[in-house]
Structures are given as C-alpha cells and as structure tokens.
C-alpha cells in the first residue's frame, strides 16, 4: 500500500481507503464476510475508513468502532458524516440551512456518532449533503469551534452532492474545511475543472468516492440487471440510467489493457491523479479488498490510455432519481 499526505491534516492516508455504505441500503450483505474483509483491509495497510450515521442509523459506525478497537495498535482514520436534519437525500438548492444543519443538530449527531464509534474524538466529521449558499452562515462555524474546543472532532469536511463538484467552492474558501469527498472516476472528471485546483491551493484533502460509478465501472452490469426491492440501486439504476450507464461502460471495454480488469483500470485512472489523497471503493468481500488494494503499487497507466480515458468523461446533471 502506498500513502499520501491527507492535505493539511498531515495524516498519511492509504491510497485505497474503505467505503462503508454497503452495510446498509445494499442488499446481499454478509456481515461475517464484511468483517473478514475489514480485517483483511487493515492487514494490507488500509488506514482510512468512511462511514456515516446515515448508513443504517449508526450501524456502520458501530462496526467501524469495533474494528478500531480490535486493531488498537494501528492508527486508523475515522471519517463519518452528519445527516441533514430533514433526512433528505439529495439536498436541493431550495432547502433552507436551518432545516438541514442547525448548530444543535450538528452537535447532537456528532455525540451520537461518538457513541456509535465508541471513541472520544472523530478524525473527520463531514456534512453528508451541502449547499454552497450556506457558506456564510455562522451557526455551523460556531458548532465546529465548540466541537473542536471540546476535543470531539479533529477535522471537518464536506461530502459534496452527486454531480455538483462546484457546490462547495465558497465554503472551502472560508478556511474551515480540511477535506472534501467527491465523486471522481473515469466518467465523473468534472472535479478536475475547479474543485481540485482550489483544494490544491488551500491544501484541502480530497477523498474520491464512488470510483466504480456505483457498479457500472466494474463492467458487470447489463441492461437486464435487476436489483431487489429494498436495495437503493433499484431506485437509482432506473432504465434511463441503467441503459446509458451500460452503454458508457461497454464503450470502455476495448480499452482495458491485457491482464487488467475494468475495476483495476477504474482505480488506476484515479490513482494517476496526485490531487486525490484517498479513494474509498465500497467493498464487502475479501476478494474485492485484495483486488482493490493491489492497485496501490505505484504503477501508472500509460499516457496513451490516460488520454483515451479522458475522452470518456460523462457530465451529468442531478435528476429526480440521481440521489
Ligand atoms: N453522499 C455521500 O457522502 C456518499 C454517497 C455515496 C457513497 N459514499 C461513500 O463512497 C463509498 C463508495 O461508493 P459506493 O460504494 O456507493 O460505490 P462504488 O465504490 O463505486 O461501487 C461499489 C460496488 O463495486 C463493487 N466492487 C468493489 N470492488 C470491486 C472489484 N474489485 N471488482 C468488482 N466489483 C467491485 C462492490 O461490490 P461489493 O459491495 O460486493 O464488494 C459494490 O457493488 C461508499 O461506501 C461510501 O463510503 C458517500
């Protein structure tokens, strides 16, 4: 595993981190296997774990808390998220700040996360949704100051809404945010336009989430794929999205180098960008953990392939189903 300096936090984060949403909202989770996968990830040098109160109302946080306790000899970085008070995903531009992140809600949910994690201090507490129009509100800054003063949070971050990488730029300029989490993958290259240059300028850490475009970039979805009721993907991969996503993934298949899989190419594309500090694939099996961590070996994709992959940028707008 290779490590990168996680912006001004100075933490050395593993290039491959661990996305922990799969413990809730995704069907087919085998908890015994997930626990083995988490242990294997730690064993292979993964030290960055992303969870949220919203992942099973604290369940994923409890699993992470147990992992940290079990591996107390290692320094594992815990990132979690505060749900919006209205519990609505995605955020919409018309939502009011006071309905999403009033100061008492920020504090209440940080306390809940601390209890779930069984720890005194959270390394990175993130807003689970955000609107840049809220940048100038004092309430969140006062809540941050109190939580830091009380030793309950080390750093704060924003998990930026899907397909809106520009929707946090002014907030970053307040100097209060140490990390952003953003969708960045072969399709979603828009963070390169404005977000990454600003993060570099301000020394804000970048977490690349959804590296496989929720599964499309694993190359395993077909136009006939059906997700069970209760799996959030059943509401995301509606026919309009599934058909277009499969077409875009199929267009990539001829580019996958011999001896490489499509998920490996997808991760290596992101690893080639040194403006990204950690990537957090969702993984629930030892097999996926081992395959994904193996990509952090310092080997780059060829310049020619990188240039070709640039042409597969796919800019999308938030829609009724995009979440
Ligand atoms: N608003 C937010 O803040 C937000 C939103 C979305 C995601 N996130 C964070 O980002 C993380 C990653 O996003 P995601 O999980 O939604 O999507 P993702 O990482 O793009 O895709 C996850 C899917 O890829 C599969 N997979 C992983 N490694 C694979 C491999 N080597 N070969 C084939 N398939 C592989 C996983 O299977 P298995 O599960 O079976 O291993 C899962 O079905 C989340 O877990 C969460 O921590 C945050």
**How far, in Å, is the centroid of ligand 1 from the Cα of 282?**
3
**How far, in Å, is the centroid of ligand 1 from the Cα of 66?**
21
Q: pLDDT for 28-79, tens place per residue?
A: 999 999 999 999 999 999 999 999 999 999 999 999 999 999 999 999 999 9
Looking from the CA of residue 81, the nearest atom of ligand 1 is: 3
pLDDT of residue 117: 98
Topology of domain 3-310 in CATH is TIM Barrel (3.20.20)
Of 288, 221, 211, 224, the closest CA to residue 253 belongs to 221
**How far, in Å, is the centroid of ligand 1 from the Cα of 313?**
19
Looking from the CA of residue 126, the nearest atom of ligand 1 is: 3
pLDDT of residue 170: 98
Pocket test for ligand 1, best of 16, 17, 19 (most atoms within 8 A of CB): 19
Q: Distance between CA atoms of 81 and 20, rounded to whole angstroms?
A: 12
Pocket test for ligand 1, best of 50, 210, 264 (most atoms within 8 A of CB): 210
Q: pLDDT for 86-99, tens place per residue?
A: 999 989 999 999 99
Q: Provide the whole-model pTM.
A: 0.98
Biggest distance spanned by C-alpha atoms of the chain: 54
Ligand 1 atom 23: residue of nearest CA: 215
Residue 110 has pLDDT above 90, yes or no: yes
């Amino acid at each position: 595993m290779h490590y990168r300096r996680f912006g001004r936090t100075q933490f050395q984060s593993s290039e491959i981190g661990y996305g922990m949403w799969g413990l809730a909202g995704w069907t087919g989770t085998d908890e015994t296997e997930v626990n083995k996968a988490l242990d294997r990830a730690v064993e292979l040098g993964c030290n960055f774990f992303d969870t949220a109160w919203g992942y099973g109302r604290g369940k994923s946080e409890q699993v992470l808390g147990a992992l940290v306790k079990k591996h107390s000899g290692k320094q594992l970085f815990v990132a979690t998220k505060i749900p919006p008070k209205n519990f609505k995903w995605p955020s919409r531009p018309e939502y009011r700040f006071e309905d999403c992140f009033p100061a008492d809600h920020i504090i209440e949910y940080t306390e809940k996360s601390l209890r779930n994690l069984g720890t005194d201090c959270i390394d990175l507490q993130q807003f689970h949704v955000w609107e840049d129009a809220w940048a100038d509100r004092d309430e969140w800054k006062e809540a941050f100051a109190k939580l830091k003063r009380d030793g309950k949070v080390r750093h704060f971050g924003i998990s930026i809404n899907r397909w809106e990488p520009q929707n946090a730029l002014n907030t970053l300029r307040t100097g209060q945010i140490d990390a952003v989490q953003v969708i960045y993958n072969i399709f979603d290259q828009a963070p390169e336009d404005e977000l990454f240059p600003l993060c570099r300028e301000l020394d804000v850490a970048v977490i690349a989430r959804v590296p496989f475009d929720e599964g499309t970039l694993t190359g395993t979805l077909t136009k006939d794929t059906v997700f069970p009721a209760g799996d959030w993907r059943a509401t995301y991969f509606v026919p309009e999205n599934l058909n277009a996503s499969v077409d875009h993934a199929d267009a990539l298949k001829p580019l996958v180098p011999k001896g490489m899989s499509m998920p490996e190419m997808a991760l290596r594309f992101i690893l080639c960008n040194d403006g990204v500090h950690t990537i957090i694939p969702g993984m629930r099996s030892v097999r996926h953990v081992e395959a994904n961590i193996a990509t952090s070996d310092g080997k780059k994709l060829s310049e020619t392939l990188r240039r070709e992959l640039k042409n597969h940028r796919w800019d999308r707008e938030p829609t009724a189903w995009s979440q």
